[in-house]
Amino acid sequence: MIGLVMGVPSLLEIFDEKYYLNLEGGILEALGRMFKSGLKLYVYPKIDEETGETCDGDKARGRAEFAVLYQYRSRTNSSRKY
């Protein structure tokens, strides 16, 4: 297993499709490759500059189309909040 520490902005960047245009399966293929070997994400929160609230990995959302990927990440325990 490999653990990767990142902040919320980096987590959102992972879900940007522009990085996966060269893969036939796109973002789904890339994420499948990343998590198939037991990769764990350790996500530290950030402060929302507009509201002053803490934004953690569960509250961070990119595009609505990826909601199922966020749910999978949470259900499979492939990320941790700190």
Query: What are the pLDDT digits (tens) for 43-64?
Result: 888 888 888 988 876 666 666 6
**CA geometry: angle 34, 2, 37, nearest 5 deg:** 45
Specify the length of the chain in residues. 82
Provide long-range contacts, Cβ within 8 A and 24+ apart, for 60-65.
60/8, 60/11, 60/12, 62/12, 62/15, 62/16, 63/15
pTM of the model: 0.66
The residue ranges of every structural domain in the chain are 3-81
Q: What is the pLDDT of residues 25-34, one digit of tens each?
A: 998 899 888 8
